[in-house]
Structure 1
Amino acid sequence: MTTTPDLTHVLWRKASLSETAQGCVEVAFVPGDLVAVRDSKDVSKPAHVYPRATWGTFLDHLRGLVPAEASRIAVDYTAETAVVLSDREGTAGAPHVYTHREWLFFLDGVLKREPQLAAA
């Protein structure tokens, strides 16, 4: 049985372009080699929690280094006004929905390899 880690006191980080934005993709590195991801527009929604290796593969996918199928974390760009982040295994909870602007700010940080977004 997988237990949800306590995220009460973790340090949430975001891409540098998102620093002044109201809504964004936020990432926290959690003890136990885990990464939590949430939508800052609604922090009452449960964060998605993944092993660091899974997060690293996802970042590699976003950088074009591995195919989408190699990543457990799925991104759906088909919605006209949103980008949807979900778990292919269905264990992370409800999908997170970001505006295109929020996603582009996050993606900019990923492509620039900003350390606050990368698995250590």
Structure 2
Amino acid sequence: MEHVKWRKPTRSGTHGNCVELAVEPGRTRIRDTKDREGGALEVPFGAWRAFVASLPER
């Protein structure tokens, strides 16, 4: 996979049970922090934004 800037959400903590995101023009990639070489889910940015907007506020 080409160079991608991955980041962990700020609420993920230090337990390693989280995902990492790479937001790029037109798409978002999501991968498991425990299996970084296992591939990534890629979704259109608009779909990711709609998913996040549908989550209840914490």
Q: Tell me whether the two structures share a fold, i.e. TM-score over 0.5.
A: yes
Higher CA-based Rg: 1
- For 1:25, the equivalent position in structure 2 comes to 19
Question: How far apart are 1:30 and its partner, in Å?
Answer: 2.0
* Identity within the alignment, %: 36
Where structure 2 has 5 or more consecutive residues not aligned to the other structure, the ranges are none
RMSD: 1.9
Q: Distance in 1 between matches of 2:34 and 2:24?
A: 21
Unaligned stretches of 5+ residues in structure 1 = 1-5, 64-110, 113-120
Between 42-51 and 15-24, report the one with greater CA deviation.
15-24
What TM-score comes out, normalization by structure 2 length?
Answer: 0.77
Tell me which of the two structures has the higher relative contact order, counting C-alpha pairs closer than 8 angstroms and 6 or more residues apart.
1
Q: What is the total number of aligned residue pairs between the two structures?
A: 58
- Deviation track 1:61-118 (CA, whole Å, cap 9, x = no partner) reads 213xxxxxxxxxxxxxxxxxxxxxxxxxxxxxxxxxxxxxxxxxxxxxxx46xxxxxx
Write 1 or 2 for the structure with the bigger share of strand: 2
Deviation (angstroms), 1:42: 0.4
**1:50 corresponds to which letter in structure 2?**
V
C-alpha separation between the residues in 1 aligned to 2:11 and 2:41?
22
TM-score, normalised via structure 1 length: 0.42
Which of residues 28, 34, 43 is equivalent to 2:36? 43
Match of 1:12 in 2: 6
Deviation at 1:45, TM superposition (A): 1.4
- Structure 1 runs of 4+ aligned residues shifted over 2 Å read 17-23
